[in-house]
Amino acid sequence: MGEGGANRVAAAHTTTLIEHLGFVLTVDAQDRVLRDVDLLVRDDRIVAIGPSATVRQQLEAPADRVIDGRRLGAVPGFVDAHVHLSETLSRAVFPDVLGTRAWVFHWAKPFYAHVSTEDERVSVLLGTAEMLRCGTTCFLDMGAQNDAGVTAKAAAAVGIRGVVGRHAADRLPKEIPPGWSADMVAHHFFPNHEVALEALAEEVRRWNNSAQGRIRCWVNIEGKEPCSLELHLGARELAQRLGVGTTYHIASSIEEARASERNNGCWPVARIARHGGLGDNLVLAHAVALTDEEVALIAGANTAVAFCPSTSLKLAKGATAIGKYPELLDAGVKVGLGTDGVAAAGNLNMHRQVHLAAGLFKDARLDPTRVGARIALRMATIDGARALGWDDEIGSLEPGKKADFVLFDLDHHEWTPYADPLQALVWSASPASIAQTWVDGRALFVDDAVVTLEEAELRAEARERAAGIVHRAGLDKDVPVHTTLYD
């Protein structure tokens, strides 16, 4: 065999045939619900979905693995459009009497200031394990507390799909609050937007399209008051030049909106829009405080929004009181769902976000037709994938797309009995009935275990590290529950 001949030999394909699935919620353009169908996976892709006789025609040889799907139902893997994986060790540390700004400045930043590189690696492993157990197969991480490579390498090792980034800001408050370490300030806050953007560009160059394309890297910044207008605008422009996306927090509370009106003469999103800062490669995290004008501006720019229901409830952001998520949906905006972080929301359970998104606006608007199960599932799957610019490969179950899906155990009490699988999924089921979670053609969660991790050891280490961070950050002492920073 001549030089390079070995590379010309076609690699053997691995095929999995799941027979007679109880149902498949495709979340395709027609939202088809298929029953008693087979699902054929070759390597990392879906080859066929349909009646058994039709799917078997796609088999070139007997499948390497055959799974009995008669008591299983398949849905696309959930896409978490806004998460802080570096926050996973902060579960149940922060009290639930905090508004957004006090939460960020007096609790979250001190915590972040004392998360070491190894702490963050463990945090990412723990968080992605929880995601897989809850049916999440792809995420958009807001930004690492250290460097994007920590998240990229840890997530790659677990096998999940996701977008990583580096935390960045450029406007320090006039007074540095207790708990903010000098190292954190130096790492998070750049002297100006130009220096910040160069650091962010380097992270993209190093980590984008790593792990055989499962891990992407964006130009992510913190957003809001800690970032200058130039950094908000520059992040999106840089992302566009690099062919990636960007995301940041904005309009996350009415307090932020009012402060922006006092200081800038308009609400946050209008300010960005008036300077040409909106675009189709931008995901606005939270975007709770919007005017009708801003809804139209977001829609006109094809900008996406990540709605985090659990965080809105815990931090009183006002999604049901002032939020315009139904109006954003009506305007055609790509609205995905996010879990945020465990300090903000309490969990990384995307299934819970689907349940909340389906019902919150029915109740708030006294209208049983608002959002509902079908739209909420789309928000957590295909619309989240669209927000991430990944809908060509993930977000729905269709031939040619990546084999990222969740199998539910239909023998579980949550599914016994059921008629409409969509209604059962959103209103009756939970992650307790998830049997398997697949990413890139591989079952990563199966038999109540994440196959790429030693979870018992990981949890023991996480508990020890979390206690150390809380003590070093001073969060086990008296900490303010109100703030006047950036007023």
Q: Which of 362, 387, 412 is the last residue of a domain?
A: 387
9 pLDDT higher than 70:
no
Residues 85-102 have a mean pLDDT of 93
Least confident interval from 9-18, 92-101, 171-180, 229-238 = 9-18
**Does the model's pTM come out above 0.85?**
yes
Residue 317 is predicted with a pLDDT of: 96
Q: Which of 387, 409, 434 is the last residue of a domain?
A: 387
- Whether residues 322 and 259 share a domain: the answer is yes
Residue 397 is predicted with a pLDDT of: 98
DSSP-derived secondary structure for 365-401: HT-TTSSHHHHHHHHHTHHHHHHTT-TTTSSS--TTS
Residues 257-261 have a mean pLDDT of 95
CA distance 352 to 363: 17
Confidence of residue 5 (pLDDT cuts 50, 70, 90): very low
| 153 found inside a domain | yes
Residue-wise pLDDT tens digits, 302-336: 999 999 999 999 999 999 999 999 999 999 999 99
| 44 found inside a domain | yes
Confidence of residue 10 (pLDDT cuts 50, 70, 90): very low
Share of the chain above pLDDT 70, in %: 97
Residues 70-97 have a mean pLDDT of 97
- Whether residues 42 and 98 share a domain: the answer is no
| 472 found inside a domain | no
Beta strands in 229-302 (DSSP E): 246-250, 282-286
- Tell me the backbone φ, ψ of residue 56, rounded to 5 degrees: -65, -25
The boundaries of the domain holding residue 260 are 78-387
Residue 480 is predicted with a pLDDT of: 83
Burial of 153 (0-12, 13-18, 19+ CB in 10 A): middle
- Whether residues 280 and 167 share a domain: the answer is yes
| 478 found inside a domain | no
- Whether residues 155 and 263 share a domain: the answer is yes
Residue 310 is predicted with a pLDDT of: 98
- Tell me the backbone φ, ψ of residue 157, rounded to 5 degrees: -65, -35
Least confident interval from 42-51, 231-240, 243-252, 476-485 = 476-485
- Whether residues 107 and 53 share a domain: the answer is no
Residues 257-282 have a mean pLDDT of 97
Residue-wise pLDDT tens digits, 328-369: 999 999 999 999 999 999 999 999 999 999 999 999 999 999
Number of structural domains found in the chain: 2
Least confident interval from 2-6, 25-29, 182-186 = 2-6
- Whether residues 68 and 122 share a domain: the answer is no
- Whether residues 151 and 30 share a domain: the answer is no
- Whether residues 149 and 295 share a domain: the answer is yes
124 pLDDT higher than 50:
yes
- Whether residues 26 and 93 share a domain: the answer is no
Confidence of residue 236 (pLDDT cuts 50, 70, 90): very high
Q: What pairing do the DSSP bridges indicate for beta strands 136-141 and 161-164? A: parallel
Residue 482 is predicted with a pLDDT of: 87
- Whether residues 257 and 154 share a domain: the answer is yes
Residue 11 is predicted with a pLDDT of: 52
- Whether residues 201 and 290 share a domain: the answer is yes
193 pLDDT higher than 50:
yes
| Domain CATH number, residue 406 | 2.30.40.10
Please tell me what DSSP assigns to residue 191: S
Return the amino acid letter for 260.
S
Confidence of residue 129 (pLDDT cuts 50, 70, 90): very high
The overall average pLDDT reported for the chain is 95
Residue 12 is predicted with a pLDDT of: 64
Residues 433-449 have a mean pLDDT of 98
CA distance 249 to 254: 13
- Whether residues 285 and 402 share a domain: the answer is no
Confidence of residue 2 (pLDDT cuts 50, 70, 90): very low
| 374 found inside a domain | yes
Residues 213-241 have a mean pLDDT of 97
In terms of Cα–Cα distance, which of 363, 368, 366, 389 is closest to 309?
A: 363
